[in-house]
C-alpha cells in the first residue's frame, strides 16, 4: 500500500494504552483536542453531544470502580462523552416552541452517534501528538451510576469514556480477522463456517500477549467471543431502562 | 495553539463534501481506508461491525431515495457501516455454546459504537489523503428499508453511511457554538438561558452560507434546532422497532 501517509501509519498502529507516565497533558494540547471535538461532524449540525472532563480524583476513583479498572483512576486525562438532548430541548423551550420529538429515540441515537464520532476524532488527534489512549466502554457497566456521579440531567446519557496520557507501555499490535469476513460488496455475505474461515486467525490470536495477563497466552478469538459475551454484566443489559429513566421515550419499541 | 500539527489542522477544517469529481478512488487508497477500518478500536476486542461497500448503481439509487439526497447516488464510494452481532452469534453456535446475551441491547450498543468509531476513523484517513466525505445519518430515514436493500441478516443494523470522493466544491467552515456550553468539569453544567449564552453564535450562524441553499442566508442556530427537531420523520422515530425486528432483545426497556 503505497498510499500510506504518516496519519494512516499511526491509525494502523493503534493500540490501547492503559499505563501512562505521571506527566499531565499541557493546557494547549488539551485545548487543541477539545477544539477537534468541537469541529467533529454532528448529525444535522445540531451538536448533540457534551464532554465531562473529570479532574477530581475522588470522582475519577468512583468511575474507575464502575469500570472495574483501577488504572482509570490514574489516567492523566479522563473524558466522558455524553449524548446530549438536554441543551437543545432547553433551547426549544426558551423559544416557546414545543416538540415531542426532542426526546425520542431518533434523537437519542443522533446524540449517541455524535458522541462516538467526537471521541474517535479526539483519539486520532491525541495519537497524532504522541499521546496514548484507552477507550472506556466499561462506563456502561453501570450507566445509572455514571449519570449520578456526573450529575447528568434528563435527556443526556453517557456513551463512552477516554483515558489519555503519555504512554508508559508498549503493547503488541492485536491481531484482527481478515477484512473479507467484515467488508462486503452490495449486500451482506454470510459464511457457512466461520470457525473454518477464522482458523488461521484463531491461531494467530494465541500468539498475542495481553499485557493485562502478561504471564500467559490468551484464548483464540472464537473462544474469547464465547467467554466475553457469556460474561456480560446484568447492569449492562439494562441499558435501555436507564436510557428511559434519563427521559428518552422508548415506548414504541414494544409495540 | 502552537501544538497544531498537519493532522489536527485538517480535523479543524472538516467540512461536509456533497459534490465530488467524476474520478474514482484508486484501489490502493480504498484498501488503505479499509485497513484503517479494520484496525479501529472495538468494544472488548470483539470486532462487532461490518461494512457494505455499495458499487451497484441501482442499489446506490435506492439508498439515495431513503436518504432523500440525490447526490448520494453519485458518490464515487458509498460505504454503509453496520452494527454486527450476526457473525459472533454464529461463531458461538458453531462452538456449540449458547448465550442469551449475544442479542441483548448491551451487545447492540457495542456494535453501534464500533461502527461509529470505524466510520470516523475512515473519515480521518480519507481527509488525510485529500478526499472529501459526507456522513449519511439519513440512511436511518428508513432503517427497515436499508436492511432489506443490503440483505442484512438478523442481529445486524445499519448505523451510518459515508460518501467519499475527490471534492468538487469548497464549502465555508460551519460555525459551532463555544466549548464552554459543551465541555464541563466533573459534572454537567446547566445554563439558565441558552438563548442569551448563544446570542453571538446565533448571529454568526446567519452569516454562514449553506451550499445546499446557496441563494439565501440560513436561520440562526436556535431556530434551526426548533425546525430540524420538529420536522423529524415518523420512520426515524421507530428506530427501536426496527432494531427489535432485526432480532435484538429490547423487552427490558418497558419493564
Average pLDDT, whole number, for chain B?
Answer: 93
Cα of A211 to nearest chain B Cα, Å: 14
Specify whether the CB–CB gap between A16 and B41 falls below 8 A. yes
- Map residue B99 onto helix, strand or coil: coil
**Interacting residues of A220 by C-beta distance below 8 A, sequence separation 6+:** A202, A203, A205, A206
Question: How distant, in Å, are the alpha carbons of A242, B155, B236 from that of A106?
Answer: 16, 19, 6
Q: At what angle do helices A105-128 and A27-39 cross, to 10 degrees?
A: 140
- Which residues lie below 8 Å from residue B90, measured CB to CB, with a gap of 6+? A190, A191, A194
A93–B contact, CB cutoff 8 A: no
Residue B14: the pLDDT is 97
Best CA proximity match to B157, nearest among B89, B86, B91, B104: B86
H or E element in which residue A114 lies: helix A105-128
Pick the residue from chain B with its C-alpha nearest to A52.
B184
Spatial distance between the Cα atoms of A68 and A86, rounded to a whole number of angstroms:
29
Task: Give tens-digit pLDDT for B206-216.
Answer: 888 766 666 66
Query: Which residue among A4, A13, A152 places its CB closest to the CB of B188?
Result: A152
Residue A211 is predicted with a pLDDT of 66
Flag whether residue B57 sits within 8 Å of chain A, measured between CB atoms.
no
**Cβ-based contacts of A226 with chain B (< 8 Å):** 91-92, 95, 97, 99
Average pLDDT along chain A, 255 residues, taken 10 residues at a time: 80 96 96 98 96 98 97 97 97 91 94 98 97 98 98 98 97 95 98 97 86 71 92 89 95 57
Note the pLDDT of residue B3.
60
For residue A92, give the H/E element and its range.
helix A86-94
Query: What is the C-alpha separation between B3 and B16, in angstroms, rounded?
Result: 25
Residue B156 has pLDDT above 70, yes or no: yes
Least confident of A88-97, B18-27, B90-99, B244-253: B244-253
| Chain B (24-43) residues lying within 8 Å, Cβ to Cβ, of chain A | 26, 28-29, 31-32, 34-41, 43
**For residue B19, pLDDT beyond 60:** yes
Measured between alpha carbons, how far is B223 from A12 in angstroms, rounded to an integer?
42
In this prediction, residues B49-74 reach a mean pLDDT of: 97
Within chain A, strands assigned E span 49-54, 77-84, 132-136, 156-165, 183-185
Residue A3, φ and ψ in degrees, nearest 5: -85, 5
Over 50: is that where the pLDDT of B23 sits? yes
Strand pairing partners for B135? B162
Using a CB–CB cutoff of 8 Å, tell me whether A107 touches chain B.
yes
Average pLDDT over residues B5-16: 95
* B47 torsion bin: left (phi>0), alpha (psi -120 to 50), beta (else): left
Tell me how far apart the alpha carbons of residues A143 and B65 are, in angstroms, rounded to a whole number: 37
Domains of chain B plus CATH, in order, are 6-171 (3.40.109.10)
> pTM for the whole thing?
0.96
**Torsions phi, psi of B158, nearest 5?**
-75, 135
CB A136 within 8 A of CB A81: no
User: Which of B124, B134, B166 is closest to B26 using CA atoms?
Assistant: B166
Neighbour count for residue B145 (Cβ, 10 Å): 17
Are B186 and A113 within 8 A, CB to CB?
no
Chain A hits for B35, CB-CB cut-off 8 Å, are: 1, 12, 179
Check CB contact under 8 Å for A44 and B228. yes
- Position A255 scores a pLDDT of 44
Helix, strand or coil, per DSSP, at residue B125: helix
B-proximal residues of A, 182-221, CB under 8 Å: 182-188, 190-191, 193-195, 198
Q: Judging by DSSP bridges, how do beta strands B77-84 and A132-136 pair with one another? A: unpaired
> SS3 of A37, please?
helix
Nearest chain A Cα distance for residue B47, angstroms: 8
Residue B152 has pLDDT above 90, yes or no: yes
Q: Is B123 on the interface with A (CB under 8 A)?
A: yes
Alpha-carbon distance A215 to nearest alpha carbon in chain B (angstroms): 20
> Quick one: pLDDT at residue A150?
98
Question: β-strands B183-185, A49-54: how paired?
Answer: parallel
Contacts of A214 (CB under 8 A, 6+ apart): none
CB contact under 8 A, A125 and B8: yes
Nearest CB neighbour to A183, from listed B34, B99, B110: B34
Distance between CA atoms of residues B117 and B170, nearest Å: 26
Of B45, B182, B254, the CB nearest to A224: B45
Amino acid at each position: 500500500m503505497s498510499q500510506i501517509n504518516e496519519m494512516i501509519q499511526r491509525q494502523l498502529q493503534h493500540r490501547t494504552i492503559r499505563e501512562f507516565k505521571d506527566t499531565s497533558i499541557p493546557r494547549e494540547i488539551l485545548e487543541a483536542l477539545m477544539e477537534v471535538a468541537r469541529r467533529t461532524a454532528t448529525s444535522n449540525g445540531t451538536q448533540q453531544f457534551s464532554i465531562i472532563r473529570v479532574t477530581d480524583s475522588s470522582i475519577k476513583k468512583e468511575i474507575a470502580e464502575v469500570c472495574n479498572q483501577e488504572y482509570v483512576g490514574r489516567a492523566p486525562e479522563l473524558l466522558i462523552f455524553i449524548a446530549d438532548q438536554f441543551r437543545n430541548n432547553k433551547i426549544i423551550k426558551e423559544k416557546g416552541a414545543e416538540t415531542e420529538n426532542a426526546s425520542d429515540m431518533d434523537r437519542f441515537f443522533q446524540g449517541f452517534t455524535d458522541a462516538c464520532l467526537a471521541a474517535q476524532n479526539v483519539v486520532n488527534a491525541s495519537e497524532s501528538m504522541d499521546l496514548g489512549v484507552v477507550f472506556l466502554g466499561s462506563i456502561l457497566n453501570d450507566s445509572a451510576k455514571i449519570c449520578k456521579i456526573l450529575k447528568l440531567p434528563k435527556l443526556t446519557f453517557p456513551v463512552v469514556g477516554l483515558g489519555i496520557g503519555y504512554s508508559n507501555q508498549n503493547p503488541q499490535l492485536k491481531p484482527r480477522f481478515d477484512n473479507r469476513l467484515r467488508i462486503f460488496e452490495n449486500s451482506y455475505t454470510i459464511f457457512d463456517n466461520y470457525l473454518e474461515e477464522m482458523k488461521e486467525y484463531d491461531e494467530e490470536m494465541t500468539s498475542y500477549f495481553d499485557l493485562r495477563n502478561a504471564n500467559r497466552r490468551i484464548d483464540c478469538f472464537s473462544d474469547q467471543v464465547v467467554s466475553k459475551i457469556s460474561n456480560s454484566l446484568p447492569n449492562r443489559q439494562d441499558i435501555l431502562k436507564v436510557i428511559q429513566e434519563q427521559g428518552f421515550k422508548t415506548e414504541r419499541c414494544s409495540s
